């Protein structure tokens, strides 16, 4: 009889081990689920990400338009100015409608004045064009700094919620009870850092592109002033 009881116990233990070793089906977690578990702080992070992408692509299109065929434009301007066709050169500037063409157009409108006055007029237009090229860049810089801060704030509030849950729970604290606060803490931090890093790279890329455009504007202004001096 003791032998039968021991065999039954062994079979029962083996059945329990077999049951517990069966693989448990894991629920798939989507990005939307993670965003929802991140709490209310995910809303400003998403808004900042949309704003950052909008500013980046809007400025990218503006810079692409600003760098349209400068070499071909300057070659035609030289030809028209040397032939004395100032009106044709101004019409060409209106057709291109770029920062460089607007600078040249201002210089053409000052032909007949001293070169210093022409140079000053071109520099004034260049300052305005630089301001227009850099428009909305501060917004992108703000996104790169604000998104991680919002994420860290979500981390703090999530951890506060987790500790409040621990304080209010009597006895053993279950991991499921703390999961909401920990989710909010970790997800908002990750989301804020991702948005901030992407916005930071976008900002520096646009600054580099603008620097190239400004260098081209300065070089073209010098070429134009030399052209006027040669024409005289």
Report which of 205, 214, 63, 58 is spatially closest to residue 136, judged by C-alpha positions.
Answer: 58
Do residues 221 and 144 lie in contact, with contact meaning Cβ atoms separated by under 8 Å? no
Q: How many residues does the chain have?
A: 232
Total count of domains within the chain: 1
- pLDDT tens for each residue of the chain, 232 residues long: 444 445 555 445 445 544 444 444 445 556 555 556 656 778 889 899 999 999 999 999 988 888 776 678 888 888 888 888 888 888 888 888 888 889 988 888 888 888 888 888 999 999 999 999 988 899 999 999 999 998 888 888 777 777 777 777 666 666 666 665 676 677 888 889 999 999 999 999 999 999 988 888 888 888 888 887 766 6
pLDDT at 96: 83
Domain assignment of residue 26, yes or no: no
pLDDT at 5: 44
Domain that holds residue 52: 39-231
Dist. CA 203–CA 198, nearest whole Å:
9
Q: pLDDT by residue (tens digit) across 105-136?
A: 888 888 888 888 888 899 999 999 999 998 88
Task: Please give the model's pTM, rounded to 2 decimal places.
Answer: 0.74
Domain assignment of residue 135, yes or no: yes
Domain assignment of residue 218, yes or no: yes
Domain assignment of residue 8, yes or no: no
Domain assignment of residue 61, yes or no: yes
Do residues 138 and 146 lie in contact, with contact meaning Cβ atoms separated by under 8 Å? no
Domain assignment of residue 80, yes or no: yes
pLDDT at 4: 46
As to burial, measured by CB atoms within 10 angstroms (0-12 exposed, 13-18 middle, 19+ buried), residue 76 is middle
Cα Rg of the chain, angstroms: 33
Domain assignment of residue 9, yes or no: no
Dist. CA 184–CA 40, nearest whole Å:
9
As to burial, measured by CB atoms within 10 angstroms (0-12 exposed, 13-18 middle, 19+ buried), residue 143 is buried
Domain assignment of residue 148, yes or no: yes
pLDDT at 25: 44
């Amino acid at each position: 009889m003791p032998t039968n009881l021991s065999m039954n116990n062994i079979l029962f233990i083996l059945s329990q081990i077999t049951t517990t070793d069966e693989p448990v089906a894991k629920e798939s977690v989507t990005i939307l689920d993670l965003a929802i578990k991140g709490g209310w702080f995910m809303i400003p992070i998403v808004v900042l990400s949309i704003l950052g992408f909008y500013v980046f692509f809007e400025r990218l299109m503006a810079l692409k338009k600003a760098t349209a065929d400068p070499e071909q434009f300057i070659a035609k301007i030289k030809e028209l100015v040397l032939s004395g066709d100032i009106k044709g050169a101004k019409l060409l500037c209106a057709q291109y409608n770029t920062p460089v063409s607007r600078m040249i157009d201002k210089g053409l409108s000052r032909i007949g004045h001293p070169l210093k006055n022409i140079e000053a007029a071109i520099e004034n237009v260049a300052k305005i064009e630089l301001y227009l090229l850099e428009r909305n860049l501060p917004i992108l810089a703000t996104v790169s700094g604000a998104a991680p801060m919002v994420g860290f704030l979500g981390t703090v509030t999530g951890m506060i919620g987790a500790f409040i849950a621990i304080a209010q729970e009597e006895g053993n604290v279950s991991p499921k009870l703390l999961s909401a606060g920990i989710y909010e803490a970790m997800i908002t931090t990750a989301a804020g850092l991702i948005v901030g890093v992407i916005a930071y790279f976008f900002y520096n890329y646009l600054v580099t592109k603008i620097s190239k455009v400004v260098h081209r504007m300065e070089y073209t202004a010098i070429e134009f002033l030399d052209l006027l001096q040669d024409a005289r």
